[in-house]
Amino acid sequence: MGIHNGSSRYGRYTGGPDPLAPPVDLAEALDAIAEDVMGGYSPRRALQEFLRRGTRNREGLDELAGRIQQRRHELLGRHRLDGTLEEVKKLLDTAVLEERKQLTRDAMMDNTDRAFREMQLQNLPASTAAAVNELASYDWQSGTAREAYERIRDLLGREVLDQRFAGMKEALENATDEDRAAVSEMLGDLNELLERHRHGEDTDADFQEFMARHGRFFPENPQSVEELIDALARRAAAAQRLLQSMSPEQRGELMRLSAQAFGSPELTARLDQLDSSLRALRPGEDWTGSEQFEGREGLGLGDGTGVLADLAELDELAEQLSQSHNGAHLDDVDLAALARQLGENAAVSARDLAEIERAMHDGGYLRRSADGELRLSPQAVRRLGKSLLRDAARQLSGRQGSRDTRMAGAAGEQTGSSREWQFGDAEPWDVTGTITNAIRRTIVDGGDPGSGLHLAAGDIEVTETEARTQAAVALLVDVSFSMAAEGRWLPMKRTALALHQLISTRFRGDRLALITFGRYAQSMDIGEFTALPPLRDQGTNLHHGLLLAGRFFRRHPTMAHVLLIVTDGEPTAHLAAGGESLFSWPPAAETIRATVAELDRLGRAGTQVTFFRLGDEPSLERFVQGIARRIGGRVVAPAPEDLGGAVVGEYFRARFKANHDGGTDRVL
């Protein structure tokens, strides 16, 4: 904002990233990344995929890369490279036509001289460059013709300079001899500076002195000789690629015409010296490439060089956006170049994606494990679990907003009394009692409660609740190949994370064991389970999973035991005495006997068992229904997308039953 004539003027903020712009949505990023991780992607791949897709409000890398390619095709499809040749030809035709008119009007001219001149004009070479060269020494009779011809030399000079120095064509329009002398002087000083730099003999003072004298020719405002060389080399390489992109005939014509630039061979020599120095100083630039232009809009040398420079910049942006090389980061993307080519909104999208990438690493959502692999951090898993628990609650209640009522009361119903807080208490605070205790302590210590209170641990009181039975919950999830093949892998994972979040935040006194069973069974922490990729092992070894569940229950003998089993197939493997998993399809009688025996033992111990049957296979339905009747268990057959709500609902039902039954004696 600036002040002008007593009024305020507002304009677009140009001091960097907009300080009022909304922050990037890490929640959206984390949810999407975690979803892909649960689906089997590595966290690194999941992050890359999210960055490629983009956010709800920002373009992703793939869309930006697509726009880069579209912009490239537009430039090639719109332009052709003979604009300078066409302009020179028009000026030449004008000069010749005006000269012929003058010869016709000039009655005083000797007939022999007139005939000779007309013959000379009539027999000019078909080549524009050759015709321009042949007329270099022609004594023009028409002032208009002479002016048109001189404009050819002026145009060529400005175009040749515009190839090396952007904007020179417009800057030197209607230039005086003094202006041309200043350009020539600048080229001489520039070549001298670059020559000293090649031999390591230049100083920063040399560069500062050069810019003080000639800085007006460099709108890029380089801050060092290296930046100056970078800008010049990019432009010069683009000019060379422009020539390479022309047909041999066009290239030959322009090379011959260039000698007529300003009518100064010295200018051509100094430009050749500049190109030679830049090639030596920046050999890594593309000096030999070419492009295929197919459009109708003719480009002059300067504008064509600018288009070639744009194409090179687009190629660099495409490489940066591809993130294809090791160690690539979105911080590598040139935001200024992206804004030039695709507009400011594209640069904002890329900047936001880079911030998300940075925040996922620096914000603790992704961590590198001991084996060097990226993993979702506990913070990220908790964040994901919270989201999934909300989804499960909505499924459970059938309406939004019921979650808090249904999931409250982890510590039991309040009795109306309060007591001093002890470490590990999860009951709600008695706010009135706590503040009263703090006031009393402050007065006793000689302080003034009116100046502010500082709570101490001894001030805190919590509301007493009725004692509630705690639960040991074993969630057994089938990880056999069919779970992934039938699209049940992701709902199963979402269910486990939702239940883990519920128990770890609302029912902290309960204990949860997460047990996977495929060919073998395995107890996992939630981080390992989240990163577990789909498995291709055949076998549904429920027997092994039940053995691990029984071991978990024995570690918590005073708790209510709740067993939740998610599976899409009947048992096809069991654990032999030697620890080997024996697989058989169809299921062997020995496998069924071993599995049923372990379920019988858990049932006799009072374990509340619920099967969550995924799929409609008759053999699975017969097995789980028969077991449920045998041990007093339950069977729930939800759709995969409703699994989370079903499991959470059964957990609540089991806890409610345990609290009303007062617990069950169990012998394991």
pLDDT 10s digits, 173-190: 877 888 888 888 999 999
Quote the percentage of the chain above a pLDDT of 70: 83
How far apart CA 417 and CA 394 sit, in angstroms, is 33
Tokens found for residue 238: 């683009």
Is residue 328 within 8 Å of 319, Cβ to Cβ?
no
Helix (H) or strand (E) holding 198: helix 177-198
Is residue 96 within 8 Å of 124, Cβ to Cβ?
yes
Least confident interval from 25-39, 76-90, 469-483, 579-593: 25-39
For 385, the 3-state DSSP assignment is helix
**CA-based angle 40:46:47, to the nearest 5?**
160
Furthest-apart CA atoms within the chain: distance in Å: 134
Mean pLDDT, range 198-209, rounded to an integer: 93
Q: Output the pLDDT for position 70.
A: 93
Q: Output the pLDDT for position 388.
A: 64
Task: Evaluate if residue 390 carries a pLDDT over 70.
Answer: no
Q: Which residue has the higher pLDDT, 169 or 262?
A: 169
Helices (H), 425-480: 431-444
C-alpha Rg value of the chain to the nearest Å: 41
How far apart CA 232 and CA 224 sit, in angstroms, is 13
Q: Output the pLDDT for position 31.
A: 76
Q: Output the pLDDT for position 641.
A: 79
Question: For the chain, how many residues are written?
Answer: 668
Using the CB atoms, write b or e for 628-665: b if 16+ within 10 Å.
Answer: beebebebbebebebbbbbbbbbbeebbeebbeeeeee
For 562, the 3-state DSSP assignment is strand
Return residue ranges of the chain for CATH 3.40.50.410: 471-661
Tokens found for residue 77: 């499809």
Is residue 331 within 8 Å of 354, Cβ to Cβ?
yes
Tokens found for residue 591: 């496998």
How far apart CA 1 and CA 78 sit, in angstroms, is 40
- DSSP state letters, 610-625: EEEE-S--HHHHHHHH
Q: Output the pLDDT for position 617.
A: 85
Mean of the per-residue pLDDT values of the chain: 81
For 521, the 3-state DSSP assignment is strand
Q: Output the pLDDT for position 3.
A: 37
Is residue 498 within 8 Å of 38, Cβ to Cβ?
no
Please name which of 165, 435, 131 lies closest in space to residue 302, comparing C-alpha atoms: 165
Model confidence at 357, pLDDT cuts 50, 70, 90, reads confident
Residue 630 Ramachandran class (φ > 0 left, ψ -120 to 50 alpha, else beta): alpha
Whether the model pTM is above 0.85: no
Per residue in 319-352, pLDDT tens?
888 887 777 788 888 999 999 999 999 998 888 8
How far apart CA 446 and CA 38 sit, in angstroms, is 58
Pairing of strands 79-80, 7-9: unpaired
Per-residue 3-state assignment (H helix, E strand, C coil) for 27-62: HHHHHHHHHHHHCCCCHHHHHHHHHHHECCCCECHH
Task: Evaluate if residue 407 carries a pLDDT over 60.
Answer: no
Please name which of 425, 141, 161, 197 lies closest in space to residue 300, comparing C-alpha atoms: 161
**The residue type at 154:** D
Quote the percentage of the chain above a pLDDT of 90: 22
Domain 471-661 in this protein, CATH class? alpha beta
Cis peptide before 586 (omega within 30 of 0): yes
Query: What's the sign of the alpha-carbon dihedral 440, 441, 443, 449?
Result: negative
Per residue in 458-477, pLDDT tens?
888 877 554 456 889 899 98
For 19, 94, 150, 269, 507, the CA distances from 106, given in Å and listed in that order, are 73, 18, 22, 41, 110
Is residue 279 within 8 Å of 172, Cβ to Cβ?
no
* Phi and psi at residue 620, to the nearest 5°: -65, -45
* CB-neighbour burial class of residue 431 (10 A; exposed 0-12, middle 13-18, buried 19+): exposed
- The strand pairing partners of 463, in sequence order, are 418
Packing angle of the helix pair 204-214, 225-245 (nearest 10 deg): 60
Per residue in 72-112, pLDDT tens?
999 999 988 888 889 999 999 999 999 999 988 886 778 88
Residues with Cβ within 8 Å of residue 624, at least 6 apart in sequence: 567, 611, 613, 635
Residues with Cβ within 8 Å of residue 157, at least 6 apart in sequence: 172, 180, 261, 262, 264, 267
